[in-house]
Copies of this chain bind each other. A is one copy, B any other.
């Protein structure tokens, strides 16, 4: 029913070796023969079986992506898209492994289902611990990371400087003259803990350097639906009121921005807002924010990974991607100045 490489060989009057080469190493076959093989294959609706090829070559043609929360988040889905758009044309399938509970995570690293079944492992925004990295390292395939806290034991990575980026945001505000600045972060327990930590540290450093540390406040959003509501309530009740607020993510900033309007606080006249990510709606809404580009980071990390799989060395195994302060419409000098 489905034709195999043997059927094609017979119909084309060549050996299976030649059929195989016509697909995988065309330069080894005469142009004439190759064309005939390809024509016959086409007529028979033949495709190379990836399972068979994988078995023979010892590669699984699969790459595992480890994430600690949902693939539906802005960051993860863009990284995934970037990775996939490089891996897919190269013949690799990208499989997601979601570790969103302590138990799922422990199970994954205990049983390591990807062993022997992945040609590389991509660790995405994961506060992965040394013991876990060691386990992955034992798999003898490249282990690469995107926005990982620490590159030890990794073969390649692509990162953003969260600390420095957040300082960009604060410096923008302080240089406008803001003195009472608040910071809103997601609750601990977030899978992005280390990134949250870095951003908070960047905020605190910048605020200290600006000499306004004693007038700043750090607010916490509890997990759940009302995260932004809680943040909003805290901002509105701060006394004296902050003239500017930095957010750990645009995802926190946008609902608060909306809520501020709702309660009659004009942005940026009454209060300035800076986000982080440049994610969904940020441009349309005019949110001033720190831009990072997870799609592009995914593309670049996939390239490095392919290079490693082929036994090469990426030019720049550990790359720091730039971020940019994007000025839009939610910041201005404080009104009382």
**Chain A residues within 8 Å of B, Cβ to Cβ:** 1-2, 45-52, 54-55, 60-62, 70-72, 74, 77-78, 80-81, 84-85, 88, 93-98, 112-113, 115-117, 138, 140, 225, 228-229, 254-255, 258, 261, 280-281, 283-285, 295
Within 8 Å CB of A46, what residues of B? 116
Residues in B neighbouring A98, C-beta threshold 8 A: 85
Contact residue among B2, B93, B95, B280 (Cβ-Cβ distance under 8 Å from A116): B2
**Are B45 and A55 neighbours in the complex by a CB distance under 8 Å?**
no
By DSSP majority rule, is chain A's interface helix, strand, loop, or mixed?
Answer: mixed
Whether A281 pairs with B254 at a CB distance below 8 angstroms is yes
Closest to A64 in B: B93
Name the CB-closest residue of B to A116: B47
> 12 A-B contacts, Cβ less than 8 Å apart?
A45-B112, A46-B116, A51-B55, A62-B93, A71-B84, A72-B80, A77-B77, A93-B93, A93-B95, A94-B95, A258-B281, A280-B281
Known: A51-B60, A51-B61, A255-B285. 15 other contacts (CB 8 A): A47-B112, A47-B117, A49-B116, A49-B117, A70-B81, A72-B74, A72-B77, A84-B96, A254-B281, A254-B284, A255-B281, A258-B284, A261-B261, A280-B281, A281-B281
Query: Which residues of the other chain, B, contact A74 by a CB distance below 8 angstroms?
Result: 72
Do A284 and B47 touch across chains, with their CB atoms under 8 A apart? no
From B50, B88, B112, B140, give the contact of A117 (CB < 8 A).
B50
Q: Would you give the shortest CB distance from A185 to chain B, in whole angstroms?
A: 17
Partner of A78, one of B72, B95, B117: B72
Q: How far is the CB of A286 from chain B (nearest CB, A)?
A: 8
- Partner pick for A60 among B50, B81, B113, CB 8 A cutoff: B50
- On chain B, the residues within 8 Å of A80 by CB distance are 71-72
Residues of B within 8 A of A72 (CB): 74, 77-78, 80-81, 295
Q: Closest B residue to A62 by CB, please name it.
A: B93
Nearest CB in chain B: distance from A246 CB, A:
19
CA–CA, A45 and B81, complex, Å: 32
Q: In whole angstroms, what is the CA distance A284 to B249 when docked?
A: 15
Are B49 and A51 touching (Cβ within 8 A)?
no
Decide if A81 touches B71 in the complex (CB within 8 Å): yes
Residue of B nearest to A228 (CB): B284
Given known contacts A95-B88, A280-B280, A284-B258, A47 and B115 CB-to-CB distance under 8 angstroms:
yes
Shortest distance between the CB of A274 and any CB in chain B (Å): 17
Query: Would you give the shortest CB distance from A75 to chain B, in whole angstroms?
Result: 10
- Count chain B CB atoms within 10 A of each CB in A46, A74, A140, A284 and give the residue with the most: A284
